[in-house]
Amino acid sequence: MKIGDFKMFKITVYSVREVEIPLFEKLNKDNFELNLVSEHLSIKNVAKAEGSDAVLVSGGDDTGKDVLEKIASYGIKLVYTRSVGVDRYDFAAANELGIKVANVPNYSPRSVAELAFILGMTLFRHVAPATYNTHMGDFRILPEYFANEIHDATVGIIGAGNIGTAEAKLYKALGAKTLAFQRHPDSSNDAVEFVDMDTLLKKSDIVSIHVPYIPGKTDNLVGAPELAKMKSSAILVNTARGPVVDNEAVAQAVRDFKIGGYGTDVLLDEQHVMDKQFDTLDDVPNQIDKDLMKNYPNVIVTPHMGFFTVPAVTDMISTSFENFKSTIKTGKPIYPVER
Ligand code: COI
């Protein structure tokens, strides 16, 4: 195939939002044939990929065994994602079917870092309960709004990779002390001071999690024992994946005032809520997610939108194209994921 013209290479892309279409068009410099599908990939719409050379998914797509088997039955061997997370892939099935996986590990880390920072600061300064109350007509300055200032605070980052480090830099710029826990600390990272997990939990006013979700390995990384070590005023922030915290334990800790609040962009049972609109919170299918959210405004939830910025989505699309180009030229994507 002539480099610079991939017209003959058809990619079916799932989970394409309206605002992303112009970016797909603009960034398609190599003229891939694109089949843009707005829905999340599922067994119901996998047939839309038939006749393609490759599939490009995102974090909300079903890449479980049944779906991968269908894709393989169409002769497609490349199922790449434009997300960093690959937790929805059934790697055993992918390996058995000879399906290659690639991801985009380093799209604008500030997209998620900024959202984590905002969730943390919103709860740290009690903005969520205060705005909730003013909207209910209550303009009193309640004692529970009495706050510290961030330059006098300590922020603990669990997982100081690209995103965790970007968040640490935001807090450091405001004068906060930044601690981090990492299994294999990078001594060249001067945005944080590496400490053990217990020290981080005990000393931090805001704890922010940035670890990948690896089913069976990073489930409930922050659960009841960890929450018990945190300050009763401390804020927990999760922009990684729902299952990396014990959501029931977090809800209980917030209810019992064992921690100050929980700000999250991710839920436990995300595939049943992502991009859906329910009439009321009671219609959210997962009981644990529902119980957690009932603690609003001490629990605040955004709909997994950390990635949803122009720079991040631009990176996600352009790096995905690079992954395909590299595969066509060399047989390997730039960012293969093997498990
Ligand atoms: C990821 O990149 O892993 C994300 O969490 C964002 C994705 C849902 C688009």
Tens of pLDDT, residue by residue over 133-190, are: 999 999 999 999 999 999 999 999 999 999 999 999 999 999 999 999 999 999 999 9
Predicted local confidence at residue 2, as pLDDT: 46
Tens of pLDDT, residue by residue over 178-192, are: 999 999 999 999 999
236 close to 242: Cβ distance less than 8 angstroms = no
Tens of pLDDT, residue by residue over 66-116, are: 999 999 999 999 999 999 999 999 999 999 999 999 999 999 999 999 999
Instruction: Specify the amino acid at residue 71.
Output: I
Lookup: tokens for 248:
């029931």
Smallest CA-to-CA distance from 37 within 27, 50, 103, 26 is with 50
User: What does residue 82 show for φ and ψ, rounded to 5 degrees?
Assistant: -95, 5
CA of 229 to the centre of ligand 1 (A): 29
Beta strands at 206-209 and 235-238: parallel, antiparallel or unpaired? parallel
Asked if residue 292 has pLDDT above 80, the reply is: yes
pTM of the model: 0.96
Pocket test for ligand 1, best of 41, 84, 86, 162 (most atoms within 8 A of CB): 84
Beta strands at 177-181 and 154-158: parallel, antiparallel or unpaired? parallel
Q: Work out the pLDDT band at 6, boundaries 50, 70, 90.
A: confident
Strands in 79-81's sheet, in edge-to-edge order, are 33-36, 10-13, 54-57, 79-81
Rounded to whole angstroms, how far apart are CA atoms 60 and 181?
Answer: 28
Q: Which residues form ligand 1's pocket by a CB distance below 6 Å?
A: 58-60, 83-85, 304, 307
Smallest CA-to-CA distance from 82 within 64, 45, 116, 108 is with 108
Rounded to whole angstroms, how far apart are CA atoms 168 and 191?
Answer: 6
3-state helix, strand, coil in the chain (%, to 5): 40, 15, 45
Query: Mean pLDDT, to the nearest integer, of 260-276?
Result: 96
CA of 271 to the centre of ligand 1 (A): 12
Residue nearest to atom 3 of ligand 1 (CA): 85
Lookup: tokens for 72:
């393989």
Average pLDDT, the chain: 96
Predicted local confidence at residue 7, as pLDDT: 67
Predicted local confidence at residue 5, as pLDDT: 57
Query: Mean pLDDT, to the nearest integer, of 116-123?
Result: 98
User: Which residue is it, tokens 């927990």?
Assistant: 236
